[in-house]
Amino acid sequence: AQSVTQPDIHITVSEGASLELRCNYSYGATPYLFWYVQSPGQGLQLLLKYFSGDTLVQGIKGFEAEFKRSQSSFNLRKPSVHWSDAAEYFCAVGGTGGFKTIFGAGTRLFVKA
Amino acid sequence: SQTIHQWPATLVQPVGSPLSLECTVEGTSNPNLYWYRQAAGRGLQLLFYSVGIGQISSEVPQNLSASRPQDRQFILSSKKLLLSDSGFYLCAWGDSSQSVGGQETQYFGPGTRLLVL
């Protein structure tokens, strides 16, 4: 069965510092991978997705993620964090049919001045 | 462009009262539709999904039901709310026509916060 693990419940980084949020997945075939961001009290916004091709995926708001099949990982990165990036981030993995997208428990990002 | 609406944004209901949350999508046709619940500090739990009018699949047994009376309308209901029904309810749509290998991207509405007292 497919699953997603986000090992960090919360992370604190200083504004201007680099960021990496970890995501590990379990899926028997080629995974379809997503990162979403959720601001407090809001819905989820799609940051980026990986279906195939280049393993380094660029997204909105300056985020990127790298698919590493050998490590079953899809980590999200940003070179310089802004205070407005404080939010909760969800990694998700999808299988065939689209109906069984599984979301990780989320990582809450705090940004300190 | 496509947009997804949910209402109400916030709802406070007494235990035992009925519930109706509505979700509508604009700018697309025949979307796949989803209801998720997000408990405080936790991830998303898929409650229901629908691939067409009148077609509802339930993921977990619970006190809730869903209906899809129109192509772009998805309703989450309950006859009698429980305290455990409190949470943040998210509706999402997926464009199956854009799917790659059967996988689609889901887009979320703004959510409804439900507090059952």
Residues in chain B closer than 8 A to A35 (CB atoms): none
Q: What is the CA radius of gyration of chain B?
A: 14
B60 touches B45 (CB < 8 A): yes
Partner A contacted by B56 (CB < 8 A): no
pLDDT(A9) > 90: yes
pLDDT in the model for residue A48: 97
Residue-averaged pLDDT of chain B: 90
Residues in chain B closer than 8 A to A96 (CB atoms): 101-103
Of the candidates B57, B103, B113, which has its C-beta nearest A98's C-beta?
B103
pLDDT in the model for residue B6: 97
What pLDDT, in 10s, does the model give residues B75-88?
999 999 999 999 99
Residues in chain B closer than 8 A to A95 (CB atoms): 103
pLDDT(B70) > 90: yes
Cα B104 to its chain centre, rounded Å, is: 17
Of the candidates A30, A98, A103, which has its C-beta nearest B32's C-beta?
A98
Please provide the distance, in angstroms rounded to a whole number, between the alpha carbons at the two ends of chain A. 41
Q: What is the CA radius of gyration of chain A?
A: 13
pLDDT(B103) > 80: no
**pLDDT > 90 fraction of chain B, expressed in percent and rounded:** 72
What pLDDT, in 10s, does the model give residues A39-88?
988 999 999 999 888 899 999 999 999 999 999 999 999 999 999 999 99
Cα–Cα dist B5/B26, whole Å: 8
Tell if the CB–CB gap between B106 and A101 is shorter than 8 Å.
Answer: yes
pLDDT(A30) > 80: no
Q: What angle do CA B96, B99, B105 make, to 5 degrees?
A: 85
